[in-house]
Amino acid sequence: NAGVTQTPKFQVLKTGQSMTLQCAQDMNHEYMSWYRQDPGMGLRLIHYSVGAGITDQGEVPNGYNVSRSTTEDFPLRLLSAAPSQTSVYFCASAPPGVMIADTQYFGPGTRLTVL
């Protein structure tokens, strides 16, 4: 199993550009999520999904869109990049069970810089 994979590892954008961060998992997890981690801080939830076709907002959703057309993939789209979106982005997935989400397994992260 590759686990949770994220591409790209690094990205530099100019203000106003758009892009998609890719996330995929091969563990058949229903739950997937996106976080951002700013320097010296913890992870803040951007969006999450409890299954294909179902997404919901987290703590900091503004400026980001997600979709979940398959169980495996959960891309994060930056609509019009701003310097405030400079951060490290983590994708995670969690196995199904009697609850919506249990232990989350994280991808390696994408370091995004917006100039």
Q: Give the residues lining the site for other proteins (CB under 8 A).
A: 31, 33, 35, 40-45, 48, 50, 56, 58-59, 88, 90, 92, 99-106, 108-109
Residue 31 or 81: which CB sits closer to other proteins? 31
Tokens read off for 94: 């969690």
Residue 17 or 73: which CB sits closer to other proteins? 73
Per-residue CA distances from 45 to 33, 36, 58 (Å): 7, 7, 5
State the minimum distance, in angstroms, from the CB of residue 44 to other proteins: 7
Q: What is the DSSP string of 47-90?
A: EEEEETTEEEE-S--TTEEE--SSSSB--EEESS--GGG-EEEE
Residue 14 or 62: which CB sits closer to other proteins? 62
State the minimum distance, in angstroms, from the CB of residue 43 to other proteins: 4
